[in-house]
Amino acid sequence: MIQATLAIIKPDATKRNIVGQILRRAEDQDLAVVAIKRLHLTKKQAAGFYSVHRNKSFFDDLTDFMSEGPIVVVVLRGEGSIRKWRDLMGATDPVKASPGTIRALFGESIERNSTHGSDSPESACFEIGYFFSGLDLVK
Ligand code: UDP
Ligand code: MG
Protein backbone atom coordinates (compact mmCIF):
# COMPACT_ATOMS: atom_id res chain seq x y z
CA MET A 1 0.00 0.00 0.00
CA ILE A 2 1.28 3.45 -0.93
CA GLN A 3 1.30 5.57 2.21
CA ALA A 4 2.99 8.60 3.75
CA THR A 5 5.07 8.83 6.90
CA LEU A 6 6.67 11.66 8.84
CA ALA A 7 10.45 11.61 9.15
CA ILE A 8 12.46 14.08 11.22
CA ILE A 9 16.17 14.71 11.01
CA LYS A 10 16.87 15.60 14.64
CA PRO A 11 19.13 18.41 15.97
CA ASP A 12 22.15 16.12 16.56
CA ALA A 13 22.11 15.29 12.84
CA THR A 14 21.41 18.73 11.35
CA LYS A 15 24.34 20.00 13.41
CA ARG A 16 26.66 17.50 11.67
CA ASN A 17 25.41 18.30 8.12
CA ILE A 18 24.24 14.75 7.46
CA VAL A 19 20.73 15.57 6.25
CA GLY A 20 21.59 14.54 2.69
CA GLN A 21 23.25 11.30 3.73
CA ILE A 22 20.18 10.36 5.75
CA LEU A 23 17.62 11.27 3.08
CA ARG A 24 19.61 9.43 0.40
CA ARG A 25 18.89 6.22 2.28
CA ALA A 26 15.15 6.87 1.99
CA GLU A 27 15.33 7.77 -1.70
CA ASP A 28 17.47 4.69 -2.40
CA GLN A 29 14.56 2.59 -1.08
CA ASP A 30 11.99 4.30 -3.32
CA LEU A 31 10.64 6.64 -0.66
CA ALA A 32 9.91 10.00 -2.26
CA VAL A 33 10.33 13.35 -0.49
CA VAL A 34 6.89 14.95 -1.08
CA ALA A 35 7.27 17.76 1.49
CA ILE A 36 10.25 19.12 3.40
CA LYS A 37 11.17 22.04 5.64
CA ARG A 38 13.78 23.11 8.16
CA LEU A 39 12.62 24.67 11.40
CA HIS A 40 13.69 25.33 14.97
CA LEU A 41 11.00 24.19 17.41
CA THR A 42 10.25 25.84 20.71
CA LYS A 43 10.16 23.51 23.71
CA LYS A 44 6.36 23.86 23.70
CA GLN A 45 6.14 22.87 20.05
CA ALA A 46 8.37 19.85 20.72
CA ALA A 47 6.14 18.91 23.66
CA GLY A 48 3.05 19.11 21.45
CA PHE A 49 4.63 16.85 18.88
CA TYR A 50 5.70 14.27 21.49
CA SER A 51 2.57 14.58 23.68
CA VAL A 52 2.07 10.77 23.67
CA HIS A 53 5.26 10.61 25.75
CA ARG A 54 4.29 13.40 28.19
CA ASN A 55 4.29 11.06 31.21
CA LYS A 56 7.60 9.36 30.41
CA SER A 57 10.72 10.00 32.48
CA PHE A 58 12.63 11.10 29.37
CA PHE A 59 10.03 13.67 28.22
CA ASP A 60 11.67 16.80 29.65
CA ASP A 61 15.12 15.92 28.29
CA LEU A 62 13.63 14.89 24.95
CA THR A 63 11.81 18.19 24.48
CA ASP A 64 14.96 20.13 25.47
CA PHE A 65 16.92 18.16 22.89
CA MET A 66 14.32 18.54 20.11
CA SER A 67 14.29 22.31 20.62
CA GLU A 68 18.07 22.84 20.99
CA GLY A 69 18.67 23.39 17.27
CA PRO A 70 17.18 23.09 13.80
CA ILE A 71 15.35 20.01 12.60
CA VAL A 72 14.31 18.98 9.09
CA VAL A 73 10.80 17.55 8.81
CA VAL A 74 10.03 15.43 5.77
CA VAL A 75 7.02 13.57 4.40
CA LEU A 76 8.14 10.35 2.74
CA ARG A 77 5.71 8.62 0.38
CA GLY A 78 5.93 5.14 -1.05
CA GLU A 79 5.03 1.48 -0.70
CA GLY A 80 4.84 0.60 3.01
CA SER A 81 6.68 3.81 3.89
CA ILE A 82 5.93 3.67 7.64
CA ARG A 83 7.55 0.24 8.14
CA LYS A 84 10.24 0.85 5.55
CA TRP A 85 11.46 4.10 7.14
CA ARG A 86 11.45 2.58 10.63
CA ASP A 87 13.47 -0.38 9.31
CA LEU A 88 15.95 2.04 7.71
CA MET A 89 16.28 3.94 11.02
CA GLY A 90 16.79 0.86 13.19
CA ALA A 91 16.07 0.47 16.91
CA THR A 92 15.60 3.54 19.14
CA ASP A 93 18.89 2.86 20.95
CA PRO A 94 21.79 3.08 18.47
CA VAL A 95 23.65 0.41 20.44
CA LYS A 96 20.81 -2.04 19.72
CA ALA A 97 20.16 -0.92 16.13
CA SER A 98 21.15 -3.37 13.38
CA PRO A 99 24.44 -2.64 11.61
CA GLY A 100 23.99 -0.36 8.62
CA THR A 101 20.84 1.31 9.91
CA ILE A 102 20.74 5.11 10.24
CA ARG A 103 20.71 5.08 14.03
CA ALA A 104 23.55 2.52 14.20
CA LEU A 105 25.60 4.63 11.79
CA PHE A 106 24.83 8.13 13.06
CA GLY A 107 23.04 8.00 16.44
CA GLU A 108 24.95 9.37 19.41
CA SER A 109 22.76 7.94 22.21
CA ILE A 110 19.25 6.59 22.87
CA GLU A 111 18.07 10.21 23.00
CA ARG A 112 20.28 11.78 20.33
CA ASN A 113 19.41 9.13 17.76
CA SER A 114 19.39 11.33 14.63
CA THR A 115 15.94 10.54 13.23
CA HIS A 116 12.24 10.11 13.95
CA GLY A 117 9.68 8.04 12.07
CA SER A 118 5.92 7.61 12.57
CA ASP A 119 5.00 4.24 14.07
CA SER A 120 1.45 3.72 12.68
CA PRO A 121 -0.98 5.19 10.13
CA GLU A 122 -2.72 7.05 12.98
CA SER A 123 0.50 8.63 14.25
CA ALA A 124 1.59 9.45 10.68
CA CYS A 125 -1.69 11.33 10.17
CA PHE A 126 -1.27 13.35 13.38
CA GLU A 127 2.44 13.99 12.83
CA ILE A 128 2.17 15.05 9.17
CA GLY A 129 -0.70 17.36 10.12
CA TYR A 130 1.38 18.84 12.94
CA PHE A 131 3.83 20.31 10.42
CA PHE A 132 2.14 20.40 7.02
CA SER A 133 -1.16 21.19 5.35
CA GLY A 134 -2.54 19.09 2.51
CA LEU A 135 -1.44 21.73 0.01
CA ASP A 136 2.21 21.26 1.09
CA LEU A 137 2.29 17.62 -0.03
CA VAL A 138 3.29 17.55 -3.68
CA LYS A 139 3.11 14.07 -5.21
N1 UDP B 1 13.96 8.47 24.02
C2 UDP B 1 14.85 8.70 25.07
N3 UDP B 1 14.97 7.73 26.04
C4 UDP B 1 14.28 6.57 26.02
C5 UDP B 1 13.38 6.35 24.96
C6 UDP B 1 13.24 7.31 23.98
O7 UDP B 1 15.48 9.74 25.13
O8 UDP B 1 14.45 5.73 26.93
C9 UDP B 1 13.80 9.49 22.98
C10 UDP B 1 14.46 9.12 21.64
O11 UDP B 1 14.94 10.32 21.03
C12 UDP B 1 13.30 8.51 20.89
C13 UDP B 1 12.14 9.42 21.33
O14 UDP B 1 12.41 9.66 22.70
O15 UDP B 1 13.53 8.53 19.49
C16 UDP B 1 10.75 8.82 21.18
O17 UDP B 1 10.73 7.56 21.82
P18 UDP B 1 10.03 6.31 21.15
O19 UDP B 1 9.91 5.25 22.18
O20 UDP B 1 8.79 6.73 20.44
O21 UDP B 1 11.14 5.81 20.08
P22 UDP B 1 11.14 5.87 18.47
O23 UDP B 1 9.73 5.65 18.00
O24 UDP B 1 11.71 7.22 18.09
O25 UDP B 1 12.07 4.75 18.07
MG1 MG C 1 8.02 6.68 18.54
- Measured from CB, residues less than 6 Å from any atom of ligand 1 are 53, 58, 62, 92, 110-111, 113, 116, 119
State the catalytic residues. Answer: 116
Up-side HSE of residue 54: CA atoms within 13 Å toward CB?
A: 9
pLDDT given for residue 116 in this prediction: 99
pLDDT given for residue 124 in this prediction: 98
- CA-nearest residue for atom 10, ligand 1, is 111
pLDDT given for residue 119 in this prediction: 98
**Ligand 1 atom with the shortest distance to the CA of 86:** 25
Ligand 1 centroid distance, CA of 110 (Å): 7
pLDDT given for residue 68 in this prediction: 98
Q: Ligand nearest 65 Cα, by number?
A: 1
pLDDT given for residue 69 in this prediction: 98
Angular region, 132: left φ>0, alpha ψ -120 to 50, beta rest: beta
Give the pTM.
Answer: 0.98
pLDDT given for residue 76 in this prediction: 98
DSSP state for residue 109 in the 8-state scheme: S
Ligand 2 centroid distance, CA of 49 (Å): 11
Q: Residue-wise pLDDT tens for the chain (139 aa)?
A: 999 999 999 999 999 999 999 999 999 999 999 999 999 999 999 999 999 999 999 999 999 999 999 999 999 999 999 999 999 999 999 999 999 999 999 999 999 999 999 999 999 999 999 999 999 999 9
Residue among 103, 32, 107, 112 nearest 66 (CA) = 112
pLDDT given for residue 59 in this prediction: 98
Q: Which of 57, 111, 123 for a ligand 1 pocket mutation test, highest count of atoms within 8 Å of Cβ?
A: 111
Residue among 67, 74, 90 nearest 59 (CA) = 67
